[in-house]
Amino acid sequence: MTRVRIDASRCQGHGRCVLIAPDYFDVDEAGLGRVLIAEVAAADCADLADAERSCPEGAIVLTD
């Protein structure tokens, strides 16, 4: 099962993750990204990999 998390020490709140995978990411009151669903469905792995690549800060971490 692929899991996703955001490294809070890297996130700068660009919000690209939310645009790419709104079911999985949101931004908090401070404008920083947060994970809504940590376990990634197989059908969504490509979208999450796209979000990982698109985060300018390298803050999105996918693990198997």
Binding site for ligand SF4 (CB under 6 A): 6, 11-17, 33, 55, 57, 59-60
Residue with tokens 């994970």: 35
- Distance of closest approach, residue 20 Cβ to ligand SF4, in angstroms: 8
Q: Which is nearer to ligand SF4, 18 or 45 (CB)?
A: 18
> Phi/psi zone of residue 15: left (φ > 0), alpha (ψ -120 to 50 degrees), beta?
left
Distance CA 52, CA 23 (A): 15
Whether residue 6 contacts residue 52, with contact meaning beta carbons closer than 8 Å, is answered with no
Least distance CB 55 / ligand SF4 (angstroms): 3
Taking the least distance from each CB to ligand SF4, the nearer of 42 and 56 is 56
